[in-house]
């Protein structure tokens, strides 16, 4: 059984980068990735109470308070007030000592234009940084809030990593966020993202590069190849906030908190 202990990871490497390097997982992915011909999948979520999930999500946002996107230039950028949310997980050893509730919402090391492609140039020591995806494993208050806790516990069998409650505020005439909208995330063999709409309107649109935009519906979950540029944006004026769970999972390695190590799973 392969085990990767946290303490053996050097400060200049991210946890996922180290794991992929020493296990040759990246090379294995390169050999099979061309077999993955489907770039997005959607499916119905069964046996859950959406009205209760929506109610407790809105209550959590009200109680824990909406946070804007963290970036290098601090305050003053209009999009901060209309794009943000809360974190599901945090890293108690984060090198920037950020608020746990918004630790997955950007980094003070990058300007708004530097979030497009998992930019590492401002973070020479990756371990315990915003870019250290597998370092975010401690549950926040949001993850333990009301029905949200039950919903996650009942369905999440893999380790939850850098994940957030993503919010686009309604009421703005244009919320396309050109400096933030188009972006790429980690490859799916590192971080398998699941997007679950909680509240939305038809005016909120998702789009992958070179594909037609479409609306993400309540009652469904969506996953896609996050290596392809993609964005969420507002088409016209909306009144309701777009609130989505943006959950990230480690697909091939599970975290053993007691022994502070990552363990290869059955997949």
CB 86 within 8 A of CB 67: yes
* pLDDT value for 173: 63
**Domain range annotation of the chain:** 3-264
Does the pLDDT value for residue 177 go beyond 70?
A: no
Does the pLDDT value for residue 155 go beyond 60?
A: yes
Q: Give the domain 3-264 fold.
A: Jelly Rolls (2.60.120)
* pLDDT value for 80: 54
* pLDDT value for 126: 97
pLDDT band of residue 170 (cuts 50, 70, 90) is: confident
* pLDDT value for 78: 43
Average pLDDT over residues 47-68: 96
Average pLDDT over residues 255-263: 97
Does the pLDDT value for residue 72 go beyond 90?
A: no
Does the pLDDT value for residue 49 go beyond 80?
A: yes
**pTM of the entire structure?**
0.93
Question: Cα separation of 58 and 52, whole Å?
Answer: 10
| Percent of the chain's residues with pLDDT above 70 | 94
Average pLDDT over residues 2-6: 94
* pLDDT value for 180: 54
* Tens-digit pLDDT profile for residues 103-125: 999 998 988 778 877 778 899 99
């Amino acid at each position: 059984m392969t085990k990767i202990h946290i303490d053996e990871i050097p400060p200049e490497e991210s946890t996922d980068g180290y794991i992929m390097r020493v296990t040759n997982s990246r090379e294995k992915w390169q050999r099979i990735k061309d077999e993955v011909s489907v770039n997005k999948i959607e499916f119905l979520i069964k046996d859950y109470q959406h009205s209760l999930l929506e109610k407790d999500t809105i209550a959590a946002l009200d109680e824990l308070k909406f946070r804007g996107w963290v970036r290098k230039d601090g305050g003053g950028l209009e999009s901060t007030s209309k794009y943000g949310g809360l974190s599901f997980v945090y890293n108690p050893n984060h090198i920037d000592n950020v608020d746990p509730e918004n630790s997955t919402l950007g980094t003070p090391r990058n300007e708004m234009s530097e979030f497009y492609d998992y930019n590492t140039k401002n973070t020479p020591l990756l371990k315990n940084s915003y870019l250290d995806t597998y370092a975010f494993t401690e549950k926040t208050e949001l993850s333990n809030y009301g029905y949200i806790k039950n919903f996650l516990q009942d369905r999440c069998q893999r380790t939850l990593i850098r994940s957030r409650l993503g919010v686009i505020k309604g009421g703005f005439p244009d919320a396309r966020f050109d400096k933030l909208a188009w972006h790429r995330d980690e490859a799916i063999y590192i971080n398998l993202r699941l997007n679950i709409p909680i509240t939305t309107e038809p005016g909120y649109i998702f789009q992958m590069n070179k594909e037609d935009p479409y609306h993400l519906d309540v009652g469904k979950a969506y996953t896609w190849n996050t290596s392809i540029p993609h964005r969420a944006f507002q088409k016209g004026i909306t009144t309701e906030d777009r609130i989505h769970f943006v959950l990230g999972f480690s697909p091939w390695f599970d975290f053993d908190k007691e022994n502070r190590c990552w363990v290869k799973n059955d997949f």
